Structure 1
């Protein structure tokens, strides 16, 4: 049982298209059958569309594109030390950009020197791997998915990182990680470390331990050079109540110490943020309540000289999904001193005769946000997500994922908007 599964809409994003290019340690080295014997090739065809209905007189935005996500993962050579490699190729082709040249934070494609959206985007990556017993060492281009370094999986193509990662499962129930990464490539760029998004280095170490099927814990640390040092803790506790009824509590905590080079305040600053989510499952139904609290942060000036505050910042070298808190949807509800609560519901239609169809809805409200101006601000979001995965037949595993948000915020906090994201994914595997 994973102890660090992202909550909110990122849980869907992580399942959409990139599982085939994330190396896993499925078996110990003693069971290795050979470099070629266990090799596999995969191709994900992904069609993505997004429409953003901006409010407050701002022009609407839309993007439509086709992506091809190809990967190859070898087996391991026989012997006490197994050797292998993984490779991937990413390609996205623009189909339509709507009426707006401004990409905003849709992040499908980069813009050229004239401010127009580019027509295509591509990337190649390779990683070498060594395995001894149940310990795996990888070096090269990777898609790390850890609480303090987690690639952004929410766009057309995944964010990638280059570095070294050690994973060990020598003790039953215990997973250890240690790594160092020195470059990143964002979802909407072909080159690494584009201006303003450079990664000097990030070092991490951590562990997760499952005491049994009902209780697990995790603890991770990271140091992002010239940016911040982070600590993360997680506890998941599941209580069986009756047949097909369970109650689960998921506690997540981040403690961040920002570097003075990042804050531009002349000193280091701190933020603590935590969330507690309770989920009651009864057959195909799940009822969710969550509370999230951000404490502290810092204030500086934006490019226009206006005050702007920061609470829990991420995606500055630690990945766009480095937020495993409960209330992470369009908004992350992670601003300075923000308090937020969530009420949600999930339904698995399999028990109703429609296997493969799931639905989730949530309402989140955040308040008492310190904006650096007079008074405080608030924000709220109504989120819906529906997904269908073909369970069998010629189109088996084809998935259609539709999710959207209605977001409203105080005038001095953020822009109101409504948005819809649609992904159609079709995986092809060989053998």
Structure 2
């Protein structure tokens, strides 16, 4: 990764000395309190999953198996404080958060959608809460942060798909010293799940948990329309991972554009191989044509190697691929998948804030013990965001997925989610 990182720096420098920023972010620091921000995000999530062929091997306390129906409903609150940086050559600041959930509905017999942790008797927790913080330092346009934080790297990304986000503990350095170039590197030693309030509640095989994850990455804006990025990670005793992204937008007319997005991963076993023999290459290529309020997308994704693509111990969001959709990721061993998608933005039709999306993904050539496996998924989504008034930015989102498969133990699923979210800037 070192060679890769420094080659990106050399590329940026060769673009000309005018690329260097004339004034750093730290030069403009107003102070610890003066630049402080306090935000809140309230989220209500109702979710049900209907496993059409029963629960399969999902056991319940006391013996037997749960029914094939899962239903949960909860409310969460996330308060996020970000201080400014003190003035001077090196700025100092802190970030802190407090978050919690309240269960509105859903009992032991219907639990299992990942909204709440379970008590000893198998029933879901009524309430959960978590607090954390990090100290940060800034020199010029480089920031070092240590402590609890939310991370969004292709090779280490905290998931926020339920009521509360995952939280990583460790160190992250982000540098923007050269215009258009962002470099990052970090080491994380703990990761809490979306329902685990403990510091390190992400479990791997045998409840081993995260040992340590070392990550690095670089993103460069070559032109206004072309961005490229690379990243790598070493999740000790699990796997090593490399990633590449190329994204290009071709403007056609004032209201038309064509976008190409390529993502690729290579993953190999590391150390004790706690996930077994991991050997996978997976890539996706998506092409999207936008014209006015409409966008049409087609995508192809392909997995090769001796295993499927593995993630989760490095964060539930560490899968930046086109066909990672609402229920399935289409990332099984040797799988090939295709997607067709349509998006509609109703702003052009006089209803700003209202949007629709529909997509269909089909995968085949999955290597299973019974031969070739296949799967397909149809998703529909609609979202409305209030544009003005006291409740401005309040959003309502409906997500529906119908998933069918000949593999994955034949676990056909209907997945339905209703999400209301209200972000608020307090300071």
Q: TM-score, normalised by structure 1?
A: 0.87
SS in 2 for 1:379: strand
**Alignment pair present for 1:38 and 2:47:** no
Aligned equivalent of 1:320: 316
Deviation at 1:412, TM superposition (A): 5.5
* Aligned match for 2:142, one of 128, 132, 135: 135
Aligned equivalent of 1:154: 161
Contact 1:345 1:362 in 2 (8 A): yes
Contact 1:181 1:203 in 2 (8 A): yes
Paired with 1:112 and 1:55, the residues of 2 have a C-alpha distance of 27
Aligned equivalent of 1:83: 92
CA offsets 1:239-258 (integer angstroms, 9 cap, x no match): 11122110110000000002
Deviates more, 1:56-65 or 1:75-84: 56-65
Aligned equivalent of 2:381: 385
* Aligned match for 2:81, one of 63, 68, 72: 72
Aligned equivalent of 2:12: none
Paired with 2:159 and 2:410, the residues of 1 have a C-alpha distance of 22
Q: Give 1:75-224 correspondences, 5 Å limit.
A: 75-97=84-106, 100-103=109-112, 106-194=113-201, 196=207, 198-224=209-235
Paired with 1:294 and 1:259, the residues of 2 have a C-alpha distance of 20
Aligned equivalent of 2:353: 356
Aligned equivalent of 1:278: 287
Paired with 1:350 and 1:264, the residues of 2 have a C-alpha distance of 47
SS in 1 for 2:333: coil
Contact 1:61 1:98 in 2 (8 A): no
Deviation at 1:261, TM superposition (A): 3.0
Aligned equivalent of 2:334: 337
Contact 2:69 2:110 in 1 (8 A): no
Contact 2:107 2:124 in 1 (8 A): no
Paired with 1:269 and 1:92, the residues of 2 have a C-alpha distance of 36
* Aligned match for 2:44, one of 43, 47, 54: 47
Q: Which runs of 5+ in 1 are unaligned?
A: 1-26, 299-310
Paired with 1:75 and 1:178, the residues of 2 have a C-alpha distance of 22
SS in 2 for 1:169: strand
How has the CA–CA distance of structure 1 residues 39 and 202 changed in structure 2, closer, same or farther, with 3 Å as cutoff?
A: same
Contact 1:210 1:217 in 2 (8 A): yes
How has the CA–CA distance of structure 1 residues 260 and 133 changed in structure 2, closer, same or farther, with 3 Å as cutoff?
A: closer
Q: Which runs of 5+ in 2 are unaligned?
A: 1-23, 56-67
After superposition, the CA RMSD in angstroms is 1.5
Paired with 1:260 and 1:132, the residues of 2 have a C-alpha distance of 36
Contact 1:62 1:100 in 2 (8 A): no
Paired with 1:160 and 1:215, the residues of 2 have a C-alpha distance of 31
Aligned equivalent of 2:63: none
SS in 2 for 1:211: strand
Paired with 1:412 and 1:180, the residues of 2 have a C-alpha distance of 34
Contact 2:396 2:420 in 1 (8 A): yes
Contact 1:61 1:99 in 2 (8 A): no
Paired with 1:76 and 1:354, the residues of 2 have a C-alpha distance of 41
Aligned equivalent of 1:421: 417
Paired with 2:374 and 2:222, the residues of 1 have a C-alpha distance of 39
Paired with 1:328 and 1:131, the residues of 2 have a C-alpha distance of 35
Contact 2:231 2:243 in 1 (8 A): yes
Paired with 2:344 and 2:319, the residues of 1 have a C-alpha distance of 24
Q: TM-score, normalised by structure 2?
A: 0.88
Aligned equivalent of 1:297: 306
Deviates more, 1:37-46 or 1:165-174: 37-46
Deviation at 1:385, TM superposition (A): 1.5
Q: Which has the larger radius of gyration?
A: 2
CA offsets 1:176-235 (integer angstroms, 9 cap, x no match): 000000001000111122352611100011100011111110010100010000000000
